[in-house]
Amino acid sequence: MNIKKVSERTGISADTIRYYERIGLIPPVTRNAAGIRDFSQHEIEVLEFVRLFKTAGMSVESLIDYIKLLDKGDESIPARLSILQDEKDKLEGRLATLQAALNRLNYKIENYENKVVPRERELFIEREAD
């Protein structure tokens, strides 16, 4: 299957697929006699595996490390699990930051008329009149 069809099937852009191949995130893709990438079912499944980890918030760097560990088989299970735990911790940190931002926005929305507008007037509108 060519890269355009693989892109449509996986939802990963052709440029991203090429990038993943270039950085070693996916193994080199088989090419036909004309030098055009010809993805096997296995190569497509590897791309879908990568996509699932990316949509879970895993960084490319961590994913590269994780995939390299797969070559070591079951002995690397603790190290792979550690990578997943580290990624989970980072994601929870980002989630906490986003939740705090959402809480601030909710507060501003709930108190817009009686707290936000007066402060805006004080900082911006009345200051311009001076």
pLDDT tens digits, one per residue of 25-63: 999 999 999 999 999 999 999 999 999 999 999 999 999
Give the count of alpha carbons within 13 A of 123, CB side only: 6
Whether residue 98 is predicted with pLDDT greater than 70 in this model: the reply is yes
Tens digit of each residue's pLDDT (9 = 90 or more) over 72-94: 999 999 999 999 999 999 999 99
Taking CA atoms, 113 is separated from 73, 104, 105, in Å, by 61, 15, 14
Q: What is the model's pLDDT at position 130?
A: 58
Label residues 64-89 b or e (16+ Cβ within 10 Å = b): eebbebeeeeeebeeebeebeeebee
CA of residue 47 relative to chain centroid, distance:
14
